[in-house]
């Protein structure tokens, strides 16, 4: 294939993917971690120490830099990562199956569109780290293949270094990256013996470098390690039978929807556009393939290599995540597995067409792939429909807008204590970081009664003490604080987004004030110019049809 042909294919992948992704809203919020991501990345912080991920938000950071005070940058970056994954799959399959570019195009298109049950894939703010790590891992594998083909130590070093950084951002990518050297044995075999022997040198160098990243990422689950998020929060369960069971369940989540599509989901222009773009580019590649006079090697062998690589990558994409007992559903699970699933489905369709006459095989596989593209695009639009009903963004945005209206400015050192009757804030850290983003570091936000993860809250006779986890204090520039009653503003958030300053201490909720303590909230409320970060409350308004409850 010429560069012109590759360019047409990559543009085609962008249109196929974009047809469905255009329906996705940047305001898809689960209600838990998004404000943490928004606040930390706005300050250039990428480490989540309590998760032992020093680069966890590195892939989220560009979204914050693109649109400070907005959500659009996260949506753009997340989509770019997903498309880059599809592009890398296309280029990788071209190496595994040289001469069969329509097979490579099908694999890339399916990797971009097929995540049928993973609604969290559409949470651009939060899941940009997953999509970014998936793109980086796939590109690293491609760099390894190109390094060996070109005998380039530079490409090998770049690919291996990127692999280590990717693991430090998301340890779940380790499954794909550790096994990447196997790709060298799935490539068409080289003619000379020296080239075959060099595979071991490249694979060994790769393994030695990537082992560093794996060792650093594995520390939280090693015997004798301190309590960690991976063990205590997610539930580390490496029992082989349990892992195999969870892995089989994830594959069923990926494959099952192929056999029971929802007919009503297909009636959307997004499906027509995706199928038209896929069909036009696929047929063009098929004609170019025939004009070129075939390919090198067996067509069945090429499809089998792609299928084998895809099956392995699908299992490896999930293998680290399923070590957690809590990973039972499809949420967050169909991003890292997408490159493998795209290759596996494309290879399986090509193998299934072996019984047809040669002249019909190419069109038949394109028709099968177009059906999956249509189904995947329809599923994306349908999942967005679920987000439009269940996103936590409307309720949280309304709550914050009400707070900033009631208290445009707060004196430094103020504790803003929210009695949340709307149910918008399930976790205290979520509200704290939202308030930090909107008011700056001089105030502390507490959602009374919310889950106190990351920040312990205790009310005593002299006021309220807030104690961050020791692991995050230095990295996030936070410290324990104590707030006398006279430095507290109590806010009441009602259903519908209405927020009011509570004039008198709410003893029925917080208990009576100690003798001699004073509560004077209006002395702490100031008229202040709005911080630029508050522009974020105007983002995503197209999906704001009224406040709804959050979904975990």
Helix/strand/coil percentages in the chain, nearest 5: 65, 10, 30
Dist CA 404 CA 408 (whole Å): 5
Each residue of 532-542: pLDDT tens digit? 888 899 876 44
pLDDT given for residue 221 in this prediction? 66
With both helix axes pointing from N to C terminus, report the angle between 299-319 and 72-96 in degrees, rounded to the nearest 10. 140
pLDDT tens digits for range 314-331 = 999 999 888 888 777 899
Q: 95-104, 129-138, 182-191, 266-275: which range is least confident on average?
A: 182-191
**How far is it, in rounded angstroms, from Cα 322 to Cα 355?**
37
Number of Cβ within a 10 Å radius of residue 113:
30
Say if strands 455-460 and 444-447 run parallel, antiparallel, or are unpaired.
Answer: unpaired
Q: What is the pLDDT of residue 281?
A: 96
Q: Positive or negative, the Cα torsion across 348, 352, 357, 362?
A: negative
Quote the pLDDT of residue 424: 95
Q: What is the largest CA-CA distance in the chain?
A: 92
Q: Is residue 19 pLDDT above 70, yes or no? A: yes
549 pLDDT band, cuts 50/70/90, is: very low
Which position has the higher pLDDT, 483 or 3?
Answer: 483
User: pTM of the full predicted structure?
Assistant: 0.92
How do residues 302-361 score in pLDDT, each as one tens digit?
899 999 999 999 999 999 888 888 777 899 899 999 999 999 999 999 999 888 888 888
Asked if pLDDT for residue 390 goes beyond 80, the answer is yes
Closest residue by Cα to residue 19 from 378, 389, 385: 378
Identify the residue with better confidence: 545 or 242.
242
* Percent share of the chain, pLDDT over 70: 93
- pLDDT higher than 90, residue 546: no
pLDDT confidence tier of residue 388, bands split at 50, 70 and 90: very high
Query: How confident is the model at residue 354, as a pLDDT?
Result: 82
Give the angle 481-486-487 at the CA atoms, nearest 5°. 40
**pLDDT over threshold 70, residue 519:** yes
Residue 551 confidence class, pLDDT cut points 50, 70, 90: very low
pLDDT at 394: 95
Q: What is the mean pLDDT of residues 287-302?
A: 70
Q: Give the model's pLDDT for residue 356.
A: 84
Q: Which residues touch 255 (CB under 8 Å, ≥6 apart)? A: none
Average pLDDT, the chain: 90
Q: What pLDDT is stored for residue 300 in this prediction?
A: 80
Evaluate whether 275 touches 374 at the Cβ level (below 8 Å). Answer: yes
Element (H, E) at 447: strand 444-447
**Can you spell out the DSSP letters for 235-269?**
TB---HHHHHHHHHHHHHHHHGGGGS--GGGG-SH
Q: DSSP class of residue 530? A: P
Residue 277, pLDDT above cutoff 50: yes
pLDDT tens profile 101-160: 999 999 999 999 999 999 999 999 999 999 999 999 999 999 999 999 999 999 999 999
Inform me whether the pLDDT recorded for 72 exceeds 60: yes
Task: State residue 269's pLDDT score.
Answer: 94
Beta bridge mates, 501: 491
Where on the phi/psi map is residue 440: left (φ > 0), alpha (ψ -120 to 50), or beta?
left
Three state DSSP letters for 426-437: CEHHHHHHHHHH
pLDDT in tens, 218-238: 877 666 555 555 555 566 788
pLDDT at 545 over 50: no
Report CA torsion sign: 535, 537, 538, 540. positive
- Residues linked to residue 214 through DSSP beta bridges, in sequence order: none
Q: Which residue has the tokens 């305001």?
A: 27
Separation between Cα atoms, residue 506 and residue 88, nearest integer Å:
58
Question: In 23-123, which residue ranges form alpha helices assigned H by DSSP?
Answer: 34-42, 61-66, 72-96, 101-113
Pick the closest to residue 159 from 196, 198, 213, 111 (CA basis): 213
Q: Is pLDDT above 60 for 180?
A: yes
Say how far apart CA 131 and CA 63 lie, in whole Å: 13
């Amino acid at each position: 294939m010429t560069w012109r042909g590759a360019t047409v294919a990559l543009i085609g992948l962008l249109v196929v993917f974009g047809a469905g992704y255009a329906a996705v809203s940047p305001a898809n919020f689960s209600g838990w971690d998004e404000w943490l991501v928004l606040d930390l990345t706005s300050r250039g912080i990428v480490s989540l120490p309590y998760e032992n991920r020093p680069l966890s938000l590195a892939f989220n950071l560009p979204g914050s830099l693109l649109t400070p005070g907005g959500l659009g940058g996260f949506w753009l970056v997340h989509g770019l990562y997903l498309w880059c994954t599809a592009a890398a799959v296309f280029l990788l399959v071209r190496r595994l199956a040289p001469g069969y570019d329509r097979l490579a195009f099908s694999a890339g298109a399916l990797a971009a569109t097929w995540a049928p049950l993973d609604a969290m894939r559409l949470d651009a703010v939060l899941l940009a780290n997953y999509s970014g790590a998936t793109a980086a891992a796939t590109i690293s594998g491609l760099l390894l293949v190109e390094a060996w083909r070109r005998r380039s130590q530079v490409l090998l070093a770049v690919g291996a270094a990127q692999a280590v950084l990717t693991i430090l951002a998301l340890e779940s990518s380790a499954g794909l990256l550790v096994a990447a050297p196997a790709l060298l044995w799935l490539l068409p075999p080289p003619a000379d013996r020296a080239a075959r022997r060099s595979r071991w040198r490249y694979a060994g160098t790769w393994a030695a470098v990537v082992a560093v990243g794996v060792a650093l990422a594995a520390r939280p689950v090693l015997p004798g390690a301190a309590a960690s998020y991976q063990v205590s929060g997610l539930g580390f369960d490496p029992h082989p039978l349990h892992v195999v069971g969870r892995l089989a369940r994830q594959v069923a989540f990926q494959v099952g929807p192929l056999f029971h599509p929802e007919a009503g989901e297909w009636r959307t222009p997004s499906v027509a556009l995706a199928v038209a773009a896929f069909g036009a580019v696929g047929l063009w590649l098929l004609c170019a393939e025939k004009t070129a006079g075939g390919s090198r090697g067996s067509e069945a062998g090429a499809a089998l290599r792609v299928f084998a690589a895809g099956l392995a990558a699908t299992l490896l994409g999930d293998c680290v995540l399923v070590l957690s007992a809590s990973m039972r559903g499809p949420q967050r699970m169909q991003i890292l597995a997408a490159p493998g699933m795209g290759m596996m489905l494309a290879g399986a369709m090509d193998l299934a067409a072996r019984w047809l006459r040669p002249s019909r095989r190419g069109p038949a596989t394109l028709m099968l792939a177009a059906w999956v593209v249509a189904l995947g695009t329809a599923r994306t639009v349908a999942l967005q429909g679920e987000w439009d009903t269940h996103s936590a963004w409307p309720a949280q945005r309304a709550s914050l807008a009400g707070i900033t209206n009631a208290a445009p400015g707060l004196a430094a050192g103020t504790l803003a204590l929210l009695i949340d009757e709307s149910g918008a804030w399930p976790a205290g850290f979520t509200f704290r970081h939202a308030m930090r983003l909107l008011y700056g570091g001089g105030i502390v936000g507490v959602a009374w009664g919310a889950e106190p993860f990351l920040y312990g809250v205790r009310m005593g006779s002299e006021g309220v003490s807030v104690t961050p986890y020791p692991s995050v204090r230095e990295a996030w520039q936070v410290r324990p604080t104590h707030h006398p009653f006279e430095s507290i503003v109590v806010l009441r958030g009602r259903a519908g987004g209405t927020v009011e300053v509570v004039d008198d201490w709410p003893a029925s909720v917080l208990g009576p004030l100690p003798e001699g303590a004073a509560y004077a909230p209006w002395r702490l409320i100031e008229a202040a110019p709005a911080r630029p970060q508050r522009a974020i409350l105007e983002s995503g308004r197209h999906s704001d049809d009224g406040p709804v409850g959050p979904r975990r």
